[in-house]
Structure 1
Amino acid sequence: MTTTYLCPADGARSPVDTDAWCCPVCQGPWDLDFEAPPVPLASLPGRVPSLWRYEEALPLPAPPLTSLGEGRTPLVRLTPSVSAKLDFLMPTLSFKGRGAVLLAELALRLGPERVIADSSGNAGTAVAAYCARAGLPCTVYVPEATSPKKTEQIRAHGARLERVPGGREATALAARAAAGTPGTFYASHVHNPYFLHGTKTYVYELWEDLGGHLPEAIAVPVGNGTLLLGAALAIAELYGHGLIADRPALIAVQAEAVSPLATAFRAGADELVAAADPAPTLAEGIAIPNPPRARQILRAVRESGGTFLTVTEDQLRAAQLDLAARGLFVESTGVACWAAVGGWSDRSVVVPLCGAGAKTGLADSGSLT
């Protein structure tokens, strides 16, 4: 069967070599009509030590031309119930490399004149790195307040940096305006579903590391929801192929300062509802007031039997210091799940440590202005 883009809202379809980065009918993000065959657990030990070892589950054929050896990050037990997956050890220092490598691989095969991306930092650094690997010109749009250490990384990879006045939504609008330029590939980690099929390898790795099982719960930080939706994809595939007996609950974590999805979930709504104006937060990577895939995120959490949790700025600071005292220096967004579920003892749960502390430095009481 031919792989195509599919709009989850109205059923519109488009070939994957289209210039249309969103559904032309409703302007919503694409899903991918792709049926992944089962991944044989017994065959994995002899395979390449990267996320491409799960080649059956990926919508692009191997071997990849842009790989940096991403994936296969360690799983470390922190308490008897809580383990952490160290995705800040990815080549680009965040989990976003899982999806960015698929976007760069797709772009390389399509041969655009330029690639653009928008990001609060980590997705942009990952796209910039993989475009450098692929030899593709890249421009990354970021909010004006993005961490200088992240913008330095983007520039180091040779990408052009566009700072946008305002926040994350203004940045996305600026990138989308540029996305219509002929010859442009919009490497949107929100709208392009190839990114989600990269992030789903996070759960495939858990499944392999735990001997064909998954924990009772998987906690993920949620802004645009790319890791959560990737996790939901992997769980559906593994369960559908009979490779796991039970589906874990998805625990979605947001900063209390910017928590539109948690507000909608608690209201029993299927869409975003009117919420308090977003406030500054140390968790800049999940400070998304209007995520385009909100409906999908809310549905995925509910169908898993999971929930939303929120964390305060003080909890983020304390969690970052606590992990550092355990030998793990993680950026302030990446500690959100540990802040939320680190004290759990009633069921097994895995948290991602999503980004390296070197990307933002240590949070302190003067970090918010």
Structure 2
Amino acid sequence: MLAAMATAYRCPQDGTRADVSSLTWCCPVCRGPWDLDFEIAGPVRPGALSGRVNSLWRYEEVLPLGSPTTTLGEGRTPLVPLTGTVSAKLDFLMPTLSFKDRGAVMLAELARRLSPERVVADSSGNAGTAVAAYCARAGLPCTVYVPEGTSPKKTEQIRAHGARLEIVPGDRESTALAARAAADAPGTFYASHVFNPYFLHGTKTYVYELWEDLGGRLPDAIAVPVGNGTLLLGAALAIAELRAQGLIDTGPALIAVQAEAVSPLAAAFHAGADSLPDTPPGAASPTLAEGIAIPRPPRARAILAAVRESGGTFLTVTEDQIRSAQLDLAARGFYVETTGVACWAAVGGWTDRSVVVPLCGAGLKTGLAA
């Protein structure tokens, strides 16, 4: 089997390039996130998948890394119907109980190959627990920065995996700034689920699994919760690749869901803007959906473009809708954390087209909404 090839990091804003073997974490010119110049090795053949490993690594032709030693068996989560038109993909059944494992395994495997002195990450919780777990698997020293107020269950999990925990006063934005300052130290690999594009090539396997489970097709729409947009951008990557391989004719609409309390992307989308305003936002309002409470996502422009190109839209949900959705899913047998129920809150009543929602994180990570 020929391996896929990642040739360089590339800045989508100014075209600056860097070698993928370097520890650079952002464009040195604009300080923005990297994209990945990437060539898939060939089309994924449905008939060739049956004998392969039962994890996301079965899609080896389209992954930027192969032959991993860091894997915990992530991927291949169940797809189950909730209604006649809405199905759920149970990504809370991942090794660290969230979908972030899809991208974290890519970052940890890349870091293992680069042999940095240290790994740092920042997170509202789930990405941090995933990076901590996979760094433990890879034998890498890891420090995770989280905002004060992060769920104690998540910080407990980070510590349990042996990572050093740095609790940052303030909000998610303050936490990201602290981690980025640490990431500039020599010998540091910044395992950023936002800035490093290898993470997106992990989350794209979510859609490859849907395509396989649905017999070589995709639903009419895919709903995803959006803060930094890593699942949505991964989905857009997979859809583009499947179309380029001739495996689907048209892609599904991407339905981006935000908490009404913190919804900068939804506001920009409905205002017809292609980016967020330059003016700094005020303090973020509190929301039960802590995992998507991101006032200034660095990949905002790409997220807005991906939703528009798919024919999708942005939806927002209230705190009461989040509470009700969590209880409703629990009554159906699924105990999901508050961020992970946002899509069910938004599209659970749809009857006119097929849609898949991700149940992104286990309820044990945050508990029941008050």
The bucket for the TM-score relative to the shorter chain is: over 0.9
For the residue of structure 2 that corresponds to 1:3, the secondary structure is strand
From 152, 174, 180, the counterpart of 2:178: 174
Contact conserved, 2:6 with 2:39, CA < 8 A, in 1? Answer: no
CA–CA distance in structure 2, aligned partners of residues 320 and 45 of structure 1: 35
**Structure-1 residue corresponding to 2:307:** 301
CA–CA distance in structure 1, aligned partners of residues 192 and 284 of structure 2: 23
CA–CA distance in structure 1, aligned partners of residues 130 and 193 of structure 2: 10
In structure 2, the CA distance between the partners of 1:255 and 1:276, relative to structure 1 (3 Å rule), is farther
**Structure-2 residue corresponding to 1:140:** 144
The answer as to 2:195 corresponding to 1:191 is yes
CA–CA distance in structure 1, aligned partners of residues 78 and 218 of structure 2: 15
CA RMSD of aligned residues (A): 0.9
**Structure-2 residue corresponding to 1:367:** none
Q: Offset of 1:246 from its aligned partner?
A: 1.5
Alignment of 1:74-93 (within 5 A): 74-93=78-97
Q: Offset of 1:180 from its aligned partner?
A: 1.1
Q: Give the counterpart letter for 2:242 in structure 1.
A: L
The answer as to 2:358 corresponding to 1:352 is yes
Q: Give the counterpart letter for 2:260 in structure 1.
A: E
CA–CA distance in structure 2, aligned partners of residues 196 and 321 of structure 1: 31
From 223, 239, 257, the counterpart of 1:219: 223
The answer as to 2:37 corresponding to 1:29 is no
For the residue of structure 2 that corresponds to 1:170, the secondary structure is helix
**Structure-1 residue corresponding to 2:329:** 323
For the residue of structure 1 that corresponds to 2:59, the secondary structure is helix
From 46, 51, 56, the counterpart of 1:46: 51
For the residue of structure 2 that corresponds to 1:334, the secondary structure is helix
Q: Offset of 1:276 from its aligned partner?
A: 7.0
The answer as to 2:84 corresponding to 1:56 is no
Contact conserved, 2:228 with 2:298, CA < 8 A, in 1? Answer: yes
Alignment of 1:66-81 (within 5 A): 66-81=70-85
Give the TM-score normalised by structure 2: 0.97
Q: Offset of 1:278 from its aligned partner?
A: 2.5
CA–CA distance in structure 2, aligned partners of residues 39 and 110 of structure 1: 28
Alignment of 1:255-294 (within 5 A): 255-273=259-277, 278-294=284-300
Q: Deviations over 1:121-162 (max 9, x none)?
A: 000000000000000000000001100000000000000000
From 227, 247, 252, the counterpart of 2:251: 247
Q: Deviations over 1:51-92 (max 9, x none)?
A: 00001110012x210000000000000000000000000001
**Structure-2 residue corresponding to 1:9:** 13
Contact conserved, 2:6 with 2:36, CA < 8 A, in 1? Answer: no
The answer as to 2:117 corresponding to 1:129 is no
Q: Offset of 1:2 from its aligned partner?
A: 5.7
**Structure-2 residue corresponding to 1:104:** 108
Give the TM-score normalised by structure 1: 0.97
Q: Give the counterpart letter for 1:342 in structure 2.
A: G
Q: Offset of 1:19 from its aligned partner?
A: 2.2
Q: Unmatched 5+ residue regions in structure 2?
A: none
Q: Deviations over 1:267-308 (max 9, x none)?
A: 000111367753100000000000000000000000000000
For the residue of structure 2 that corresponds to 1:34, the secondary structure is strand
For the residue of structure 1 that corresponds to 2:110, the secondary structure is helix
For the residue of structure 2 that corresponds to 1:279, the secondary structure is coil
Q: Unmatched 5+ residue regions in structure 1?
A: 365-369
Q: Give the counterpart letter for 2:53 in structure 1.
A: V
For the residue of structure 2 that corresponds to 1:230, the secondary structure is helix
CA–CA distance in structure 2, aligned partners of residues 155 and 169 of structure 1: 22
**Structure-1 residue corresponding to 2:239:** 235
Q: Give the counterpart letter for 1:358 in structure 2.
A: L
